[in-house]
């Protein structure tokens, strides 16, 4: 009888699962769901039916087939940023700074030469996010729920959490560079160096000061009008809770709750994105961002998350090796403004 190696020409076939597929090997035919998102290493212990907390609790048949879990806070920067698909890790983008110079001339005047536009190159730092959980074949066969689909969902959730954190505060070393890791200065647009974000100080360390509504209005108006179309606030839940309690001098709330589920609540007329990875209000913290992130932050990702189901390398375990290559950085430093809770 031919062996598996002989039938495949000596090579062991290991299917790479990309996106989503139907797992015909399982009796229930569960969908192996789509995965992804980026950031850092995820560690999961090997599942077995021998020890309780490593998977054994799931083996008895008298068990609820749906596993409850605590929901992780995921930063939704991907939803407001500019996301591009790339073919390699060497992605580059050119940006003109200041536009193309122009001039005026009379009808009979010979036009003079104008200055050459200035270009800046954007190269988002990229890194590979991976997860490599394992489950024993007995666990896959006997568990009262679809272990493979559950692992796929866990990987997707962890990838989303990790990349969300990187888009806000990533170091740029083997991962995206978060917008809070960009250099900052109080100088206005046209004066700051390209790639440096402008911050506005509240005037009080760790607080909004005497007129918090004025500080927020100054932040909004510091963003030039072309970028205010499509702009949004970004802050965490703690900062948002404080801002929702703020009132103007005549007693009106700055926060405008939504009367329709399809319409988001607004702050000074702009939507608020709640990002768990933004810092809490503290002395010299940068806890509120306002800007057009579609124009200001670039996410570059290499195809979809890939998952290799590997039952051969670590018998009797089945490894699920998932990878995702993603990068990110500020692409237009004039499109994002920061509120710094500092005296100056």
By DSSP bridging, strand 270-274 and strand 266-267 are antiparallel
Domain count, the chain: 1
Asked if omega into 316 is within 30° of 0 (cis), the reply is yes
**pTM for the whole structure:** 0.77
Question: Is 241 within the bounds of a domain?
Answer: yes
**Dihedral class, residue 227 (left if φ above 0, else alpha if ψ from -120 to 50, else beta):** alpha
**Dihedral class, residue 251 (left if φ above 0, else alpha if ψ from -120 to 50, else beta):** left
Of 140, 134, 168, 144, residue with least CA distance to 322: 134
pLDDT at position 150: 82
338 pLDDT more than 60: yes
96 pLDDT more than 90: no
Per residue in 123-178, pLDDT tens? 999 999 999 988 898 888 888 778 778 888 888 888 889 999 999 999 999 999 99
Of 228, 223, 339, residue with least CA distance to 282: 339
Strand partners, 329: 298
Q: What is the mean pLDDT of residues 112-120?
A: 83
Asked if 123 and 328 touch (Cβ cutoff 8 Å), the reply is: no
Confidence of residue 114 (pLDDT cuts 50, 70, 90): confident
d(CA 84, CA 299): 6
Question: Is 64 within the bounds of a domain?
Answer: no
Question: Is 254 within the bounds of a domain?
Answer: yes
CATH code (residue 200): 3.30.2320
Per residue in 246-282, pLDDT tens? 988 888 889 988 877 777 889 999 999 999 999 999 9
Per residue in 175-226, pLDDT tens? 999 999 999 999 999 899 999 999 999 999 999 988 899 999 999 999 999 9
d(CA 97, CA 200): 22
336 pLDDT more than 80: yes
Mean pLDDT for the chain? 82
Question: Is 213 within the bounds of a domain?
Answer: yes
Question: Is 115 within the bounds of a domain?
Answer: no
pLDDT at position 303: 76
The domain in which residue 204 lies consists of 181-297+331-341
21 pLDDT more than 50: no
Of 153 and 289, more confident: 289
pLDDT at position 157: 86
328 pLDDT more than 70: yes
Question: Is 201 within the bounds of a domain?
Answer: yes
d(CA 82, CA 161): 18
Structure tokens at 31: 């969908």
Interacting residues of 233 by C-beta distance below 8 A, sequence separation 6+: 267, 270, 271, 272, 273, 288, 289, 290
Dihedral, 45, 49, 50, 54 alpha carbons, nearest 10: 30
Structure tokens at 292: 């057009």
Question: Is 278 within the bounds of a domain?
Answer: yes
pLDDT at position 30: 39
Question: Is 310 within the bounds of a domain?
Answer: no
Q: What is the mean pLDDT of residues 39-54?
A: 55
Confidence of residue 51 (pLDDT cuts 50, 70, 90): low
67 pLDDT more than 60: no
The greatest distance separating any two alpha carbons of the chain, rounded to the nearest whole angstrom, comes to 93
pLDDT at position 156: 83
Interacting residues of 237 by C-beta distance below 8 A, sequence separation 6+: 274, 276
User: In angstroms, how far is CA 323 from the centroid of its own chain?
Assistant: 16
């Amino acid at each position: 009888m031919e062996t598996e190696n002989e039938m495949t020409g000596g090579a062991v076939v290991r299917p790479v699962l990309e996106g989503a597929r139907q797992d015909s090997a399982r009796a229930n035919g569960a969908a192996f769901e789509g995965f992804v998102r980026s950031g850092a290493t995820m560690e999961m212990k090997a599942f077995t039916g021998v020890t309780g907390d490593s998977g054994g609790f799931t083996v008895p048949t008298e068990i609820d087939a749906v596993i409850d879990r605590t929901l992780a806070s995921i930063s939704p920067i991907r939803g407001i940023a500019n996301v591009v698909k790339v073919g390699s890790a060497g992605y580059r983008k050119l940006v003109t700074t200041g536009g193309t110079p122009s001039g005026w001339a009379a009808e009979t005047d010979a036009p003079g030469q104008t200055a050459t536009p200035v270009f800046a190159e954007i190269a988002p730092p990229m890194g590979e996010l991976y997860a490599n959980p394992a489950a024993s074949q007995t666990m896959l066969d006997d568990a009262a729920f679809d272990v493979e689909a559950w692992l796929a969902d866990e990987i997707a959730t962890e990838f989303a959490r990790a990349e969300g954190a990187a888009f806000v505060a990533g170091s740029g070393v083997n991962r995206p560079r978060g917008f809070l890791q960009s250099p900052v200065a109080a100088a206005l647009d046209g004066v700051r160096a390209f790639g440096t974000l402008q911050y506005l100080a509240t005037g009080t360390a760790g607080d909004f000061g005497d007129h918090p509504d004025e500080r927020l209005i100054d932040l909004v108006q510091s963003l030039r009008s072309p970028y205010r179309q499509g702009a949004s606030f970004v802050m965490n839940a703690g900062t948002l809770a404080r801002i929702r309690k703020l009132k103007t001098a005549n007693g009106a709330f700055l926060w405008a709750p939504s009367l329709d589920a399809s319409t988001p609540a607004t702050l000074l007329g702009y939507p608020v994105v709640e990002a768990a990875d933004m810092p809490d209000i503290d002395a010299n913290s940068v806890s509120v961002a306002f800007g057009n992130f579609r124009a200001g932050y670039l996410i570059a990702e290499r195809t979809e998350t890939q998952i290799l189901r590997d039952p051969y390398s670590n018998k009797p375990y089945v490894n699920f090796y998932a990878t995702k290559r993603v990068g990110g950085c500020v692409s237009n430093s004039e499109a994002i403004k920061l509120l710094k809770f500092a005296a100056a």
